[in-house]
Structure 1
C-alpha cells in the first residue's frame, strides 16, 4: 500500500494523498457539490474525478508542479505565470455559474466581515491598530460594483499546476461561482507582487491595480484569525502579515 500523506487537515476538511489519488473529506457536502459542478463547467484543465462516496471525493493527481507557495520565492518562469493569467481569462470569459461563489458576496457582506475582523485584530492585540487601519483604508477600493464572472474563488498559487509554460490543472473548486474577476487575480498574486505583470500580460485585459492591491489587503485582514485558529502561521515571512506591512 502507498504511504498516506496528509496534504492539509483542519476542523472543516482534510485532504489525503495515496499514490496518485487525492481523497478530499469535507463535512459540508454543499461545498463538494459546488466543486464537482464547477469542474464540469470550467473551460480550463481540472482534475479527473475518480469516484465520490460522501463525505469523500477522490480525484486524480494533476501532472506538473504547483505555480508556487505563499511565503516562498517562486522559481517558476514568467512564461508559466503568464500562462496562468491566460487560463484565468478563459475562465472569466466563460458563462458565469448560476450560483454566487466566495468572490460573489455582496458589498455589505464583505464590509461587515471586514469590520468584524479588523476589530478582532485590534482588540486582541494581534496587529497594531495603525497597520489594521491603513490596510482597512486600502481594502475599501475592492468594495465597488462588479460584473459577475466565472470565478474560482480560492485561486491560491498552490492550486495552479504547470508543466513548463502550460497550465496542466487547477484544483480546489469548492468556493467557485459567479463573482468579482479581480478577486481571482489578487488571490493568485498574493505575496508574489513581482509576478503581477506576468499574470496580467497573459490575462490580456486592463485591470485596475488599485483594486488588486485592495484585495491583497482585504484577503489578508480576513484570513488572519482563521489561520491562527486552525493552526497556521500568518506571521511567517512573505505571508499575510508581511503583505499587510508592505501596503502604503
Structure 2
C-alpha cells in the first residue's frame, strides 16, 4: 500500500461536554448538546462579522473551515497583537451589537444573580479563594447586574475566539453562547486579563462605555467560571488566570 500523508490531529478542546479537533485546515466540533450547535450555526448565519465557513454538519459533529490569521491573544499571556488589531476587535463587537437581535433570549438578571451566589459559596466552601477576596469581587460583580438594553452578543468573546491578520479581524469563532445580552459583557470577556488593551477596544468600539461596569463583569466572569474549569479538567484553580484576576482586584 502506498504511504498516505495524514495531517496531525490537534486536540483544541476536550472535556465531557464537547471536543474540538483540528485536522489541517478543518475544525471538527463534537458536542453532546445539539442545542448549542443549533445556536452556533444560526448565530453565525446572522452575525455581520466574518465567521468560519461551515463545511458540513452531521449531528453530533460540525465541521468548520479554519480562519486565516492567529488568535488575538490568550488569557494569562501577553498579547503580541497590535493596538490597531485590538481596536479592530472592538469595532467588530460594535458591528455585532448594532445588528438585529437573535430570536432566543439570554440569561435573566435573576439567573445571573443566583449563579453568582452559588459560585461564590462554592469558592469559599472549597477554600479556592479567601472569603475577603470573594466578597470584594462579588460586591463589584453585583454592580453589573442592572437593567440593560439587550443587544446581539457573542457571549464568549474571549481573545482566543477573535482571529486577526495584521491589524484586521479575519473572523470570530465559537458562537454557541450567542444570545441577547449586555454589550459590556462581550467587551469585558474580550479584555479580561488584558486590561492594558481596554482603551484600544473602547476606541475601536466607537462610543463611550462605562469602564467600571466592564471591570464589574471581569469579576463576575471570573467568579462564575472557576468551578466549571476545575470540574472539566483544566488543572488547579491556583493556576487559573481567572483566579489571578480575582486576587488582583482592589
Q: 1:111-130 to 2 correspondence within 5 Å?
A: 111-130=113-132
Structure 2 CA distance, aligned partners of 1:93 and 1:133?
A: 35
Q: How far did 1:236 drift? A: 2.7
Q: How far did 1:242 drift? A: 1.0
Structure 1 CA distance, aligned partners of 2:233 and 2:76?
A: 16
Equivalent in the alignment of 1:60: 65
Q: 1:31-180 to 2 correspondence within 5 Å?
A: 31-100=36-105, 104-180=106-182
How many residues matched?
A: 244
Corresponding position: 1:236 with 2:236? no
Check whether the contact 2:115–2:224 (CA below 8 A) recurs between aligned residues: yes
Structure 1 CA distance, aligned partners of 2:88 and 2:148?
A: 24
Q: TM-score, normalised by structure 2?
A: 0.96
Structure 2 CA distance, aligned partners of 1:126 and 1:181?
A: 30
Check whether the contact 1:122–1:132 (CA below 8 A) recurs between aligned residues: yes
Larger Cα-atom Rg: 2
Equivalent in the alignment of 2:3: none
Give deviations 1:65-101, integer Å, cap 9, x for gaps. 000000101111100000000000000000111112x
Q: Mark the runs of 5 or more structure 2 residues left unpaired by the alignment.
A: 1-5
Give deviations 1:127-171, integer Å, cap 9, x for gaps. 100000000001011100011101000001000000011100100
**Runs (4+) off by over 2 Å:** 233-237
Q: How far did 1:235 drift? A: 2.9
Structure 2 CA distance, aligned partners of 1:58 and 1:116?
A: 35
2:27 to 22, 27, 40: 22
Check whether the contact 2:90–2:202 (CA below 8 A) recurs between aligned residues: yes
Structure 2 CA distance, aligned partners of 1:14 and 1:33?
A: 16
Equivalent in the alignment of 2:219: 217
Report the 3-state secondary structure (helix = DSSP H, G, I; strand = E; otherwise coil) of the residue aligned with 1:36: helix
Give deviations 1:27-75, integer Å, cap 9, x for gaps. 0000000000000000000000000000000000000000000010111
Check whether the contact 1:71–1:236 (CA below 8 A) recurs between aligned residues: no
Q: Mark the runs of 5 or more structure 1 residues left unpaired by the alignment.
A: none
